[in-house]
Structure 1
Amino acid sequence: MRIICRPTFHRVALLHTTARNHDLMEFFDDEKNWNKNKIQHGRSWKADELRNKSNEDLHKLWYVLLKERNMLMTMEHACNEAYELFPSPERIDKVQESMKNIETVVRERNEAYYQLETGETGERPTKYVWNILGMKQFYRLKQHLIPKHLNTKWKQRHLFGYGGHAVRKFQKLYREKLWNEKRRAQNREKNAVISLLKKFPNVDIDTLKEKYPSVDMDKIFRSRKVKFLRVASRYE
């Protein structure tokens, strides 16, 4: 008779802890900060610091920042509803900047991985398309289950190409607006140079050229406004 001894296993649950559940109070700040006009906070996470962290740490930090952003936006909305001042509103900007830096670091790692494995960036391919107003815009390509010629919903949301008298009129007015903005900017720089020459006749011309590269100095010195200044003869 053979006796088989089997090891006995005790049913023991491992010790684990979970975060305390505050229900909807998770979306609000600590009560001790409600009546404060200013709350002490730190700076945002820099990209160089995030590059030293692992993917798991970045994943955890992302959700911590996401929870913090939701809490701050909830508190901001509550303060606006109560016509009260939201303390330290720059906290939202710092959280958003940190999340943006995390996205930058993750995109860098994905691009490096795909470049090594496939020789491509791994980003969604893009191309230039003409919208209904006759302006170029970036369109990110995407895979669809339904073919393009049968996907009516996609055609309704994505209207490419343009034509018609109204679009041509819009393009004409839009180009005129851009030209007027460019002309006003050039006139402002030109008047600024003339004003500096009148106030400081001995100003360095090379410095003016470096600061205002779009201004034609020869044309400026031939104009009536600075024709009789001593700086004109010195420049010539």
Structure 2
Amino acid sequence: MHFSLLRALGQRTVVVCLNSKHVVNMPALTTCINKFHTTGMNSDLMEFFDIKKNWNETDIKVGRAWRLDELRIKSNTDLHKLWYILLKERNMLYTMEHECDSKVRLFPNPERIDKVQESMDNIETVVRERNVAYYQLETGETGERPVDNVINVFGLPEKYKRQEYYLPKFMNSRWVRPYLEHGYVGSMAVKKFLRLYKEKKFNEERKARNRDFNHVQQLLKRFPDMDLEKLKAEYPKVDLEKAKRSKKARGHCIPKY
């Protein structure tokens, strides 16, 4: 009995729909609604991979990185959107690079990673410039963390950005004892390291000066009529008068200077 009632109700519903005047417009309206949507395409995990037509390519044409002057004229909303686009692109490139390494294949255009990273660094620079300008206008300060010149464990000067700690400096025994009480910075080991480090730096500078001096001598020997002003601008630390008087610079001919 229940099946007969359901069958009769279904037939009556079909008849009512066929006799309705609005049935003709419903398919067209449904088609228009399906064509219009604002939701982005969701590719799941395939968004971490490049499009399939680039999988077997050896050379992919790409553009250059975003410049600072181009990013300065954009709004904060555009910079925010562009940042996440570049972030997805960087993740995709890292995934493709790892996949190519695992398959022992050549990753096409590896400079794309550098271009994306350069663009992201430029966005951070522009955002930092705007934050500094805003804080200077509102508070008269830059808003950046203050930087101090400190001496590290090896006795070398370095830049240190201040940050908050849950424990004050004078109560931090793990910091006070090594640096203040026992004096690790002024210990004999640190002094010996600084002496050897300065000696190494001095030898590197001396060898660099000798290389430049010998190179200038060879240039004067091969090209006695060269412009000395340009040579001095290229090698400002070289004594040209001493180089001209040397035997290596004169060679087997009488110089004209």
Report the TM-score when normalising by structure 1: 0.83
Secondary structure of residue in 2 paired with 1:214: coil
1:143 paired residue number: 164
What number of residue pairs does the alignment pair up? 217
Q: 1:133 — aligned with what? A: 154
Q: Structure 1 or 2: larger helix share?
A: 2
Structure 1 segments unaligned to the other structure (5+ residues) = 1-14
> Structure 1 residue 64 and structure 2 residue 85: aligned?
yes
CA distance in 2, matches of 1:177, 1:140: 29
Question: Which one has the largest radius of gyration?
Answer: 2
Which consecutive unaligned segments of at least 5 residues does structure 2 have? 1-35
Aligned to 1:185: 208
Deviation at 1:151, TM superposition (A): 5.2
RMSD: 2.4
Q: What does residue 192 of structure 2 align with?
A: 169
Residue 166 to residue 40, structure 1, CA distance change in 2 (3 Å): same
Question: Is the 2:48–2:95 contact (alpha carbons within 8 Å) kept by the matching residues of 1?
Answer: yes
Q: Distance in 2 between matches of 1:68 and 1:159?
A: 46
- Aligned partners of 2:60 and 2:109 also within 8 Å: yes
Distance across 2 between alignment mates of 1:136 and 1:42: 41
Identity %: 58
Query: Which residue identity is paired with 1:64?
Result: I
Q: Take 2:200 and 2:194, find their aligned partners in 1: how far apart are those partners?
A: 10
Cα distance in 2 for residues equivalent to 1:134 and 1:146: 24
Q: What is the identity, as a one-letter code, of the residue corresponding to 1:140? A: K
Paired AA for residue 119 in structure 2: S
TM-score, with length taken from structure 2: 0.76
Paired AA for residue 188 in structure 2: H
Q: Conserved in 1, the CA contact under 8 Å of 2:155 and 2:194?
A: yes
1:19 to 35, 40, 60: 40
Q: 2:217 aligns with which of 174, 194, 209?
A: 194
Are 1:203 and 2:226 counterparts? yes
CA deviations 1:161-188 (Å, max 9, x no partner) are 6132222222112111111111111111
